[in-house]
A and B are shown apart, each in its own frame.
Chain A
C-alpha cells in the first residue's frame, strides 16, 4: 500500500469509487489518488458485505453450513458446495459413489461456464459496450440456470451437494438437456468471439493494460485464470486431481503477457476446455447411487455427525481461483474452526500494483478482469 502521506502537497485528486458504484461489482470501495488521469495510489476498502460466515458456521452442525456456502460466491454456488463437501469428506473419510462424483464434475464445469460467461459480459459492460454482450451471455447462462433449478430447486442458491454425494439424481431428460447445451455452446462461442476477440476497440483498451508479471502473481498467491493469464501453469484440477479430474483429458490455457486481454481470452479458452470435460463426463457417466448410504443418517440428524478430532483442508479450482475450506474438528457436532480461503480476496491484493500508472478508466476494467465477487471477498 502506498503511504498516502508521501503524496501530500502534490496536485492530487482523491476519488472514492464505491461502495455504491455499479462498476465495482458490489459494495467494494476504492480510494483512488489521481494526478491528472493517472493513478498514483489506490487503496481498496473491503468489508461492506461482511456477514460473519465463518463464525456462523462454527456454531452450526456441519450439514447446515452447506446452505451458507452458496452465499459466498453467489454466481457459482455449485463450486462452493463442492469445496465444502470435499473438506468434510476428507475430515470424516466418506467415500463418494461413482455417479455422484460424475454429477459433481458436470455441475462444477457448468458453473465455471456460467461464471466465465458472466465475467466476460460484465467486463464488456465495464469497457462501455453496454449490455449487448452481457445479454448474449445471459441468454446462454439462462439455460444452465434452468438446469440448476431443475436439479437443485434454486437457480443460484443451489445447496445441491451433500457429504458423500449429491442431493438429487439427474434424470435422463436432464442429461439430454446438458448434452444439448454442450453441443450448442461452441457455436455461440464462435459468434461471441466474432463479436469481441478481434474487435479493435477491445484490443486497444485491453492489450498492455493492467499487466501482472508472473513473478509478482506467484509471490502474491494469485490463483485461477488471473495467474494463468500471466503464463503460470497452475491449475488445482491438474495439481490435486480432486474428484474425478484425473480421468478427463483437458488442457490448461495460458496467457503470455498477463494483461486484461489475456485474462479475457484465457477465460474464453477455459470455457472450451470445460466443454471438453463435460463431453467426456456425459459419455462416461455410469448408473448407480448418488449418495453414500453412510452419510444419510447424518443428513437426517445433523447433530449426530461428530467427526473425530482432526483437521482437513479441501480445495478446488473454483472459476475464480483456489477456493479452500479449512475445518478443525474437536469431536463436537460443530467445527472448532472453519476458514474459507476465498480466491477473490487474495486476487484483489495485486489490484494496486496492476493499476499504478494507468488511467482511471483502466482501473475499472482491471478490477473487472480480476473477477471479484463481494460475497466471497468480505464473507
Chain B
C-alpha cells in the first residue's frame, strides 16, 4: 500500500461524519447535543438526585416519623434528624429538624432503600446550587418537603406503586380496627 493511504482514508471518514451529521437523526450519528438552558432532554424516571421528603396533602402531614433509620444508614452521614416533642413531653413521631447536607450527599439512594415509612425519595431536581457552602448547602426541612403530587409527577411508576401499597395498608388497618372494636349494642 502506498504510504499515506491510511491517513487519506481516515480523513475521508471525518469528512463523511462532518457532512452526514447535518442530515442524520440524532441517535444515528447526527448532531445529538442539546442546547441546555433553553432545551432540555426528556427526564428519565429512574434518575436520582438529592432526596426529598414526601407529604400527603398539606406540608404538616409529613410521612416521616423521625425514626432515624436513614440517618443511621446514610453512608456519608449527611442526614440530621431531631424528633419533635409534644407539649406533654412525649415524642410526637414527627421530625422537628430534618436536614440534609448537600455538600456531603452522594446520591446513592440508600435512604430511599431503607425507609420503612415511604417517606424519603430521590428527587429529579438538579439545579440546586447555593452561594454559600457553609449554610445554604445544608437544606432544612422546609426546602426538602415536597408533596406526593410532585412525586407522582416526576416518578409516576414508583409513586403509583407506593400509593397502592399505602392504600392497601390503610384499609387493612381500618378493617382490623373495626374487628377489634367491642360490639356497640344490639344491631337493629
- Which A positions have Cβ atoms within 8 angstroms of B? 56, 60-61, 63-65, 67-68, 71, 132, 136, 139, 142-143, 146, 149-154, 157, 159, 168, 184, 191, 194-203, 299-303
Contacts and interface: CB of A to CB of B under 8 A. Distances in A.
A139 B17 CA distance: 12
Contacts of A159: 108-109
Nearest to B122: A153
A196 B47 contact: no
A-B complex: 7 closest residue pairs judged by Cβ atoms: A67-B108, A198-B6, A153-B48, A64-B75, A153-B46, A195-B13, A199-B6
A63 B113 CA distance: 11
B19 interface: no
Given A60-B75, A196-B10, A301-B114, A149 B106 contact: no
A151 B5 contact: no
B144 to A, nearest CB: 19
Given A132-B14, A159-B109, 11 more contacts: A64-B110, A149-B47, A152-B46, A153-B47, A153-B48, A159-B108, A194-B9, A194-B12, A200-B7, A202-B6, A300-B113
A168 B157 CA distance: 12
Nearest to B5: A198
Contacts of B122: 153
B29 interface: yes
Interface string B2-35: 0111110110111001000000000111001000
Contacts of A61: 73
Nearest to A67: B108
A149 B48 CA distance: 9
B88 interface: no
B107 interface: yes
Given A136-B17, A139-B32, A200 B4 contact: yes
A200 B7 CA distance: 6
Given A150-B46, A153-B47, A199 B106 contact: no
Contacts of B10: 194-196, 199
A146 B9 CA distance: 31
A157 B29 contact: no
B108 A157 contact: yes
Nearest to A302: B73
B77 to A, nearest CB: 10
A177 B9 CA distance: 31
B46 A151 contact: yes
B47 A201 contact: no
Given A67-B106, A300-B114, A199 B46 contact: no
A72 to B, nearest CB: 13
Contacts of B128: none
A201 B9 CA distance: 13
Contacts of A154: 47-48, 107
A72 B6 CA distance: 38
Contacts of A197: 6
B27 A200 contact: no
Contacts of A300: 113-114, 116
A67 B108 CA distance: 6
Given A157-B107, A195-B14, A64 B7 contact: no
B2 to A, nearest CB: 10
B161 interface: no
Contact of B13 (A168, A191, A303): A191
A148 to B, nearest CB: 10
A157 B32 contact: no
B73 A153 contact: no
Nearest to B31: A139
A142 B32 contact: yes
Nearest to A142: B32
Nearest to A56: B75
13 contacts: A67-B109, A149-B44, A149-B46, A150-B46, A153-B46, A153-B47, A153-B48, A191-B17, A194-B13, A197-B6, A200-B7, A202-B6, A302-B114
A153 B14 contact: no
